[in-house]
A and B are shown apart, each in its own frame.
Chain A
Amino acid sequence: MTIKVSMRVNGKPVSAEVEPRTLLVNYIREHLRMTGTHVGCDTAQCGACTVHLNGKAVKSCSMLAMQAEGGEVVTIEGLAKADGTLHPMQAAFKEHHGLQCGFCTPGMIMNAVDFAKSNPAPTDEQVRAALDGNLCRCTGYQNIVKSVMAGARNMASSGS
């Protein structure tokens, strides 16, 4: 059994015939060939696969592609401007060295962007609580927290 699924990803309409068991993350990576969204655990633990669905951060490994039918999906590839200018949260991760190997970074940034929309000046504690669904095995989180705090301020001041 395959079903047609249609949605918008980073502003562009896309559609495909997929098996119902296709996870949203597999659709994004394997059908759309956008590999910025990572798969760490496939079981909603690690957060590497975080994308936005209709403006909210979700774990794309824990949704079927079919469930995003008609939805608006934004992935890490959709954050920077067409001319390559980084999103304020991406710029903050670069500035504050909020990554080492980079595997968790797309998910960290997608979750942080959703969080910062409603928390323009978060405390260290609020950031740590908000990131409890994103695992990083390199950094010890110090610079990630610093990056998210700075990124949230950057987003608020740039109005994004």
Chain B
Amino acid sequence: MKPPAFDYVAPTSIDEALEQLSRGGEDARPLAGGQSLVPMLALRLARPSLLVDLNRVTGLAGVSHAAGELRVGAMTRQRAILADSLIGRHAPALADATRFVGHEQTRNRGTIGGSIGLADPQSEYPAVALALGARIEARSPAGTRRIQVEKFFLGPYSTALDRGEIVTAVIFPDWGEGTLMHVDEVARRPGDFALVGLVAALRCDAAGKISRAGLAWFGMAPTPRRATRAEAALTGALASGVDAEEIGRLAVEDTEPWDDVHASASYRRTVGARVAARSLRRILDASSNRGRP
């Protein structure tokens, strides 16, 4: 058998799950969709003493919208995210990003909470959360808290979650009328981790001025990374006057890409600038078409 031995429990309530996690100690881990964790077990990259399966916990899946916020439950599956009408309306970048996440079969299992909690710097959902200014709702025996996304991702596979604390939802603020979003990435093969990827959101006011910009890279730094210089250059600019190529070059200045067998850092920078320019052009074209009577 490939995975190392571990104990397993499948609680049905969140309180029970938290209790099992804290009783399990340092090497106890929650199991969400398992599409990263189970392969990591098979490769023996993860050696938990106890897995607390969250798949039977009630109330962790589902999408709701109230008071200007979209709440996506941690155990909401990627396949459900693709088709959800509230997500399509209020955080379309999340659905758009899901096209790039794994494959049909893995999207039937994989969850948003699992992806956010794993904090792989190359994965799409953490960058969506960062670009849109989400908050991560987390629960521990001490209670529930909401963590600003800027303070959540600390490094590769490292988050602000305390031991025994689990992600229960991701909360996306409404961006409002006139917002367009786009997600793009370059990968060697569909479903592979991105060499370079960008989540972009722009809100334009009635006069065609950009009133808010959110750009977040994945696969370009040890954590998802905001392109703050490009965001600042876009904010307040007239959409019709944006030079997408120039913003693309500016956007990669906030990245720290690396060399590996898949691509060099300079390749990632070059392709990143193109991906950013392409994404912006797409958003700006859609925005100007929408503005026409």
Q: Which residues of A contact B (CB under 8 A)?
A: 1, 3, 19-23, 26, 42-44, 47, 50, 53, 56-59, 61-64, 66-67, 69, 111, 114-115, 129-130, 132-134
Contact = CB atoms under 8 A, between A and B. Distances in A.
28 contacts: A19-B5, A20-B6, A20-B7, A23-B3, A23-B38, A42-B39, A42-B42, A43-B39, A43-B42, A47-B103, A56-B79, A56-B108, A57-B108, A58-B108, A58-B109, A59-B109, A62-B34, A62-B106, A62-B109, A63-B109, A66-B8, A66-B10, A67-B53, A111-B105, A132-B103, A132-B104, A132-B189, A132-B190
Interface of B: 1-8, 10, 31, 34-35, 38-39, 41-43, 51, 53, 55, 79, 102-106, 108-109, 189-191
A116 B185 CA distance: 27
A97 B139 CA distance: 53
A47 B105 contact: yes
A62 B191 CA distance: 15
Contact of A66 (B39, B53, B189, B191): B53
Nearest to A53: B108
B191 A133 contact: yes
Does more than half of chain B's interface fall in helix, strand or loop, or is it mixed? loop
A23 B2 contact: yes
Contact of B8 (A20, A26, A58, A63): A20
Contacts of A115: 104
Nearest to B39: A43
Contacts of A114: 104
A42 to B, nearest CB: 5
A67 B34 contact: yes
B1 A111 contact: no
A132 B1 contact: no
Nearest to A61: B42
A3 B8 contact: yes
Nearest to A132: B190
A88 B35 CA distance: 30
A72 to B, nearest CB: 14
A129 B103 CA distance: 9
A134 B189 CA distance: 12
B15 to A, nearest CB: 21
A81 B8 CA distance: 37
A132 B10 contact: no
Contacts of A53: 108
A60 to B, nearest CB: 9
Contacts of A57: 104-105, 108
B51 A20 contact: yes
B108 A62 contact: no
Nearest to A110: B105
User: Which of B42, B79, B190 is the most central at the interface, judged by chain A CB atoms within 10 Å of its CB?
Assistant: B42
A44 B39 contact: yes
Contacts of B104: 57, 111, 114-115, 130, 132-133
Contacts of B39: 42-44, 61-62
A7 to B, nearest CB: 13
Contacts of B8: 1, 3, 20, 64, 66
A1 B5 CA distance: 9
User: Which of A3, A57, A64, A69 is the most central at the interface, judged by chain B CB atoms within 10 Å of its CB?
Assistant: A64
Contacts of B41: 21
